[in-house]
């Protein structure tokens, strides 16, 4: 998960370097400072109290939580 402030070319480079399917996202009602509002591991994530349902859905999509 990366800040929406990145350019599309930078996201492509991020994906190539880290070999992941990362995407843009926010936390805590639109905050671009991802690391201030989420902590995660392979089992799940904890997000800031202001994080909206739409943001949580995007986080689940990006990190693949709930997929078998």
User: For 2-24, what is each residue's pLDDT tens digit?
Assistant: 999 999 999 999 999 999 989 99
pTM: 0.85
User: For 12-58, what is each residue's pLDDT tens digit?
Assistant: 999 999 999 899 999 999 999 999 999 999 889 999 999 999 999 99
Which pairs with CB-CB distance under 8 Å and at least 24 residues apart come from 24-31?
25/1, 25/55, 25/58, 25/59, 25/62, 26/55, 26/58, 27/51, 27/55, 27/59, 28/55, 29/55
């Amino acid at each position: 998960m990366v800040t929406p402030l990145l350019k599309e070319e930078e996201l492509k480079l991020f994906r190539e370097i880290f070999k992941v399917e990362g995407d843009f996202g926010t936390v805590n009602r639109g905050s671009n400072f991802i690391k201030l509002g989420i902590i995660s591991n392979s089992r799940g994530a904890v997000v800031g109290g202001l994080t909206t349902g739409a943001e949580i859905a995007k986080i689940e999509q990006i990190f693949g939580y709930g997929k078998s």
